[in-house]
Chain A
Amino acid sequence: NAGVTQTPKFRILKIGQSMTLQCAQDMNHNYMYWYRQDPGMGLKLIYYSVGAGITDKGEVPNGYNVSRSTTEDFPLRLELAAPSQTSVYFCASSLDTSGNTIYFGEGSWLTVV
């Protein structure tokens, strides 16, 4: 009964370091998403994917990269971390469009110092 699994749950990075947030789903969903949530704010879409090999930018893509080599996995790469990337990151997935429910992971808390 895993759903959407994110790792790590917590991470502290130094300015300029790089890291990858991992996301996996076991529901055979086509669509996957990465959102970030800043304090007191709603979620903003970073990148999304409509299937293996296909990715597209969301509202706030700068400073991030993604890949989708399999249906199950959708890692988010942070290159040259900056303090502005301190946030909570949520991975999500859905079967397809047409109003299907989007399921969220439990979040990854990232602090850049």
Chain B
Amino acid sequence: AQSVTQLDSQVPVFEEAPVELRCNYSSSVSVYLFWYVQYPNQGLQLLLKYLSGSTLVKGINGFEAEFNKSQTSFHLRKPSVHISDTAEYFCAVTRVQGAQKLVFGQGTRLTINP
């Protein structure tokens, strides 16, 4: 079975500052990794995903994430945040083989302060 741990439940950041949201996963088989964003009272939107190849993945809205297999991590970063980035961010994994069933972390609430 797979599991995901998001190490911070809340991250407050000032506008235009850099941010890193941390995600660690556990799995005995190969996995795909995802970051989703949820704006207030909305569904989830895909930010980026890692399937294979380059370990640095670029996504929408200036976000990027780096897959580190030895540390089983997939941290999300943005060099300069905006007020509009205030949202809940979810890291998720699914096994490569078999039915694609996402397993989610508990989420990190990113709050951008002016």
Residues on A lying within 8 angstroms of B by beta carbon are 4, 31, 33, 40-45, 48, 50, 56, 58, 90, 92, 94, 96-107
Whether B102 lies near A40 (C-beta < 8 A) is: no
Residues on B lying within 8 angstroms of A by beta carbon are 4, 9, 32, 36, 41-46, 49, 51, 90, 92, 94, 96, 98-107
- Cβ contacts A to B, 19 pairs, < 8 Å: A40-B107, A42-B4, A42-B92, A43-B44, A44-B104, A45-B103, A48-B99, A48-B101, A50-B99, A92-B44, A94-B100, A97-B98, A97-B99, A98-B51, A99-B32, A99-B94, A104-B44, A107-B42, A107-B43
Residues of A within 8 A of B92 (CB): 42
A42 CA / B107 CA spacing, docked (Å): 6
Partner of B51, one of A50, A90, A99: A99
Candidate in A31, A101, A102 with the most chain B CB atoms within 10 angstroms: A102
Residues of A within 8 A of B102 (CB): 33, 43, 45, 102
Residues of A within 8 A of B43 (CB): 4, 90, 104-107
Residues of A within 8 A of B44 (CB): 43, 90, 92, 104
Whether B9 lies near A99 (C-beta < 8 A) is: no
Whether A40 lies near B9 (C-beta < 8 A) is: yes
